[in-house]
Amino acid sequence: MKKISIVITTFLFFQLVLLAQPKADSLKKLVLHEGRPSVKADLYLQLCEIYRGSDPDSCLAYAQKATRLLEETKDTDRIPKAELYIGIYYYIMGKPDTALSLIKKNIPLLQNKPEQQPLLGQYYSSAGLCYMKMDEKKTALDHFYLALATAEQCNDHMTQLKAYVNIGWAMMELNQFEQAITNFRKGIALVEEKKLPENYYGVIYNNLASSYGSLNQTDSAYKYAQIAIAKSKAQNDIVSHANGLFILGTSQEKMGRLQDALQSFLEAQPLREKVGDPFFIVSDQAELSSLYSKLGKTDEGIATGLQALETAKANNITAKLPMIYTALAANYEAAKDFEKAAATYRQINELKDSMYADANPKALAEMRTRYETEKQEWIIQQQQNKIARQNFIFLGIAGLALMLGLLAYSYYKRFKLKKEKQLQTEIMRQQELATRAVIEAEEEERQRIARDLHDSIGQMMSAAKMNLSAFESETRFENDDQRRSFEKIIRLVDDSCKEVRHVSHNMMPNALLKNSLAAAIRDFIDKMDKKALQVHLYTEGLDERLDSNTETVFYRVIQECVNNVIKHAAATNLDISIVRDKDGISATIEDNGKGFDTSDKEKFEGIGLKNILTRVEFLKGTAEFDSAPGRGTAVSIHVPLAAAL
């Protein structure tokens, strides 16, 4: 089947956003009343986007206006956007070299600007289209792949879609039609997955139809051409509409339906003329001329062929000359004008000779080497495909089994880690509950003993003192020694009462129950003998009450530290600092006593230091001891804010 992919090349240079003439009218009204140059330029760019496919002249005019405004306001970042639309115009008008000069100027300006990556992807895509029209397919394909990579990096799905379809088009031109179909179907999948505008469906289905036609699958070509025409009409996409009609006509010609093919070609003509791209006008005329020869309408065929030849020469479209001369020769033969037919065939041969003459020996060698390499690769590929088909089922089953095994193993590992984490969390929770229970039980026991001392033994001692006092008033002492001995007994009982009260208050301090932590500690210190030990207390940030457990634990820790100083340090000076800030509560207890060796582990086996460490750990805090023989001891305690609240 005749190759028909040549007619669908312009589709992705412009996003056919021709959805709403009312939107264009609204933008035009806004432009008339807008005074801010920057905003006005943005409105012009929006109009360019609307007219880029349907009205190239309007697109050019708005792009030029936007460029002037952006240059006046020195908005250099947006000038490349406006110049892209200018390049689109020249491309559509059959001047790809002029469009390419603008593109080459702007690509380096965009490459190192992350925020301009979406626009850079559009520029790569546009450059590829220009190279395709200039018949530099390899360079074009390189730029299409650059557009795809750039679009994927910045999640520009529209440019990614264009790249897929442009790569497919290049593959068609290189006769890799199956690869072309793969890329077109990737485009359709992307439209459906990302919910992209359906105005690209006409373009993609045209390309599918053309690819199937080139593979001589005429029924599929005919089917997809009809779908493309329907989609294009719905979106008012005249370029894709014209392409669809051309592909439909070519399919009908292949099926022997020549009159239907003629009708399709004639219906496409006014659409081609409205777009104004001479490259495709020439293609359509050459194909129509060839069809006229088959219909016996040689006068129309010759006139159409000569018109195509004139347009091609005027616009330097040399790639279409063999197609035009072939159509003319067919018409001259059908008209029995063998002299002109022979002359036309000579022109075809001369044209082919000139094309070969343009290739230097190195280029020919490269072409020959590439051909041989591709041929060998094709043979190897066929062999590999045969082996692959034999092993496909086995590999598929093995891969599926491996995947299921990996999934099961992954699930088992996640489940195991989850259970281990849950167990660890529960163990920590149980340890915390156990520690809390021990401390709370200890505190309750202290309070019980304190109450018993105060309410039972204290009252009994007070009663004994009262009875002794009453007995003293009724007793006649024989001498002063007896009286002094009796008074000594009363004083001992009185001292015992005071000691019981002191012990009970230490075990259950009323100050801590009634006041803050700072007040309780100060009350505890005030009862100490200041002649033997000078105590300095500094507190900050303790005006608000803390959690009762936190206050109790802190009080007991400070109390234990002070008792250790009194019992073991032989100190004369003690500094206590308690500070609460945003991070938690910190306490420092520092004395000038005899100190001890902190590397001696036996020192930390005693009940006193163990109690301090256990209580601080209960609050998820830390306790550090800094001491050495002969230089005193400093205890630093820190409890984090969450535990202190």
577 vs 400: CA distance, rounded Å: 68
In terms of Cβ atoms closer than 10 Å to its own Cβ (0-12, 13-18, 19+), residue 140 is buried
Strands (E), 472-631: 534-540, 573-581, 584-591, 622-627
One-letter amino acid at 463 equals A
Task: Give the β-pairing of 573-581 and 534-540.
Answer: parallel
Q: Comparing C-alpha atoms, which of 292, 279, 358, 290 is closest to residue 320?
A: 279
518 vs 539: CA distance, rounded Å: 7
Phi, psi of 174 (to 5 degrees): -95, 10
Instruction: Report the SS3 class of residue 625.
Output: strand
CA-to-CA separations, 155 to 84, 129, 538, in angstroms, rounded: 20, 22, 61
**Predicted local distance difference test score (pLDDT) of residue 18:** 37
Please count the other Cβ atoms lying within 10 Å of the Cβ belonging to residue 510.
11
Tokens 């000139």 -> residue: 354
**For domain 510-644, which architecture applies?**
2-Layer Sandwich (3.30)
Dihedral sign for Cα 390, 393, 394, 400, please. Answer: positive
Residue 558, both tokens? 């400070």
Angle between helices 37-51 and 56-72 (to 10 degrees): 160
347 vs 357: CA distance, rounded Å: 15
Three-point CA angle 3, 8, 14, nearest 5°: 165
One-letter amino acid at 541 equals G
**Predicted local distance difference test score (pLDDT) of residue 25:** 84
Task: Give the β-pairing of 633-640 and 622-627.
Answer: antiparallel
Per-residue pLDDT of 239-262, as tens digits, reads 889 888 988 988 898 898 999 988
Residue 484, both tokens? 């002094």
Please say whether the beta carbons of 153 and 116 come within 8 A. Answer: no
Question: Where along the chain do its domains lie?
Answer: 363-508, 510-644
Three-point CA angle 28, 31, 35, nearest 5°: 170
Residue numbers of the chain with a pLDDT score lower than 70: 1-22, 53, 352-383, 385, 428-467, 469-470, 472-473, 495, 497-515, 529, 603-608, 641-645
50 vs 58: CA distance, rounded Å: 10
**Predicted local distance difference test score (pLDDT) of residue 495:** 67
Question: What is the per-residue burial (b if ≥16 Cβ within 10 Å, else e) of 124-133?
Answer: bbbbbbbbbb
Q: What is the model's pTM?
A: 0.46
Instruction: Report the SS3 class of residue 204.
Output: helix
